Structure 1
Amino acid sequence: MLDPAPIVEAAPAKINLALHVTGRRPDGYHELESLVVFAEVGDELVAVPSERDGLTIEGPFAGALSGGGDNLVTRALSAFRARWPEAVPEAYHFTLRKNLPVAAGLGGGSADAAALLRFMQSRSATPVPLPELSAIAAALGADIPVCLLSRPSEVRGVGEIIHPLKAFPPLFVVLVNPLIAVPTADVFRRLEKRDNPPMPALPDPLTRPAQLAIWLAGTRNDLEPPAFALVPRVAEMVARIGRTEGCLLARMSGSGGTSFGLYGSEALAHQAAHDLRSDWPQSWVAAAPLVQP
């Protein structure tokens, strides 16, 4: 008899604290440098043994996704089974609890696919080396390899060069999304300069909030200006978050439209989230700790 006990794999939200566009390759892909962190809020992938593999999507943002074969979770499952056909003989029905806004600059789809790959690796009867799993992930999407790790990391290239950090300050984040589409392709199309200066070197070890705040002051998100031009509400949100008490940094994540604030205190983060919900009751707002290395 099949064991019906569900197994939950978290898919934490990915946040770009800094995002520098430093060049463009002949194939059209952009060279990026980013400091990536993850929040203890996100989607969840729930697995239950089943007669055959399947996927159901539920949650507040389920309506924006398809449960069909073009979903990143099902593509990740197919890729894993194709590469390691005997590793996980059991079939599973997966329920994706979609708690994050879709196309929000939080790596939601990539985090979901990474959660699927981590789950399959954990259930494998034979070793699945992380470098090989990362190669499978990279073929599915540039953000999926760092989402496999879900820990603070420096990321370069098109996402294939990942340096996990050994230490990171204990911080809290407030995330705000206006639930207005900010198409990534349109943001990059409006990008005026594609050979911007790289990120400065990170302090080593990076252990204090003040260290990080000083370093972040010398960084940017190069996608902010075109995203702000497309959706001025995002610029308004970044400015408003920056005025909340105790905010160390307010910035947009990825290509938008989620903005974030960093805080050294859980109480200050939750107070900021409360105030921002009052300002924008129709927006999505969440407060959470950042995942530690």
Structure 2
Amino acid sequence: MLTTRAPAKINLTLHVRGRRPDGYHDLESLVAFSGAGDTLSLTPGEPLSLDISGPTSSAAGAGDDNLVLRASRRLAEDVKGLRLGRFRLEKRLPVAAGIGGGSSDAAAALRLLARANDLALDDPRLREAARAVGSDVPVCLEPRARMMRGAGESLGAPLNLPSLPAVLINPGVPVATAPVFAALGLQPGASRGDGAHIEIAAQPNAAQLLAALAKCRNDLEDAACLQAPVIVGALAILRAARGCRLARMSGSGATCFALFATRRDAVRAARVIRDQHPAWWVKTAMLR
């Protein structure tokens, strides 16, 4: 059995530059990853199948449309004789939460199939399968901090970010991505007229990175807050926490994150939030 982690993807920034003629939105996003995530295992050589367990498994979708199976079938179209197998997914991340849980699971499946079939991670067939399954899957294939542009197909070089103590919270309200983007009201070919994303150094220190992040934003935050007003309260709670340096929504929501000066501050804040909101998903993390 082969096993890998499917870590949460956190959009530290998310700028929507416009909408392309093909209908996809043109994005610029600094992406980092958390230690918190799902676990995916593969038993090679068995018929392709997927078993799901874990605290958020009921919302993950166990049918043929699950991204783990879709990614596997898509890779098998290009790699003749691909050795498939039985997947087991331990689902811990919230679903429809803006942290790429399903996309990270799909990328994990591609990584495991690559190991089982002696494929390199830079094999173009692997990359093409990732792009075909979803916009966030390519950046999750090698989960390291980097810039993501376009509709997710253009990836920058890995960045050596300092470890960022963080608290991730999800108030338990799923947020559908399509209505959030639709609320921007951009027609194909339209541009928002905003300037380019600020350049992120290849190896910034914590002070440099936080200063850069403060000049950035998540352009989907307002639209998501209208769809799920609880996000407004979640952000306010994070921003009021002692030691919080920056709080922002990830992706299209509803998961929000806060960056802290120290891990001790993050742990303390998470404990207080968890006590006040026991039904929320609350995790401490080191983003990198």
TM-score > 0.5, shorter chain as reference: yes
In 1, Cα distance between equivalents of 2:20 and 2:14: 17
Alignment of 1:201 with 2:207, yes or no, is no
How far did 1:171 drift?
1.1
Aligned to 1:276: 273
Identity of aligned residues (%): 43
The DSSP-based 3-state class of the residue aligned with 2:14 is: strand
Aligned to 2:250: 253
Alignment of 1:214 with 2:211, yes or no, is yes
Quick one: which of 95, 99, 113 aligns to 2:106?
113
How far did 1:165 drift?
3.1
How far did 1:37 drift?
0.5
* Gap change, CA 1:202 and 1:178, over 3 Å in 2: same
Quick one: which of 26, 31, 34 aligns to 1:36?
31
Alignment of 1:19 with 2:18, yes or no, is no
* Gap change, CA 1:132 and 1:59, over 3 Å in 2: same
The DSSP-based 3-state class of the residue aligned with 2:12 is: strand
Q: How many residues align?
A: 284
Aligned to 1:3: none
Aligned to 1:77: 72
* Gap change, CA 1:101 and 1:165, over 3 Å in 2: same
Amino acid at match of 1:77: S
| 8 Å contact kept, 2:111–2:121 | no
Alignment of 1:92 with 2:52, yes or no, is no
Aligned to 1:57: 52
Amino acid at match of 2:234: M
The DSSP-based 3-state class of the residue aligned with 2:26 is: strand
Where do 5+ consecutive residues of structure 2 fail to align? none
How far did 1:109 drift?
0.5
* Gap change, CA 1:50 and 1:220, over 3 Å in 2: same
Quick one: which of 36, 51, 68 aligns to 2:63?
68
Quick one: which of 173, 176, 186 aligns to 1:180?
173
How far did 1:198 drift?
3.9
Aligned to 2:156: 163
Where do 5+ consecutive residues of structure 1 fail to align? 1-5
How far did 1:48 drift?
2.6
How far did 1:95 drift?
0.8
Alignment of 1:285 with 2:282, yes or no, is yes
Alignment of 1:243 with 2:218, yes or no, is no
The DSSP-based 3-state class of the residue aligned with 1:287 is: strand
In 1, Cα distance between equivalents of 2:211 and 2:120: 42
* Gap change, CA 1:277 and 1:128, over 3 Å in 2: closer
* Gap change, CA 1:124 and 1:247, over 3 Å in 2: same
In 2, Cα distance between equivalents of 1:283 and 1:156: 31
How far did 1:155 drift?
0.8
TM-score by length of structure 1 reads 0.91
User: Which region of structure 1 is more displaced relative to structure 2, 162-171 or 194-203?
Assistant: 194-203
In 2, Cα distance between equivalents of 1:82 and 1:188: 31
The DSSP-based 3-state class of the residue aligned with 1:164 is: coil
In 1, Cα distance between equivalents of 2:195 and 2:93: 30
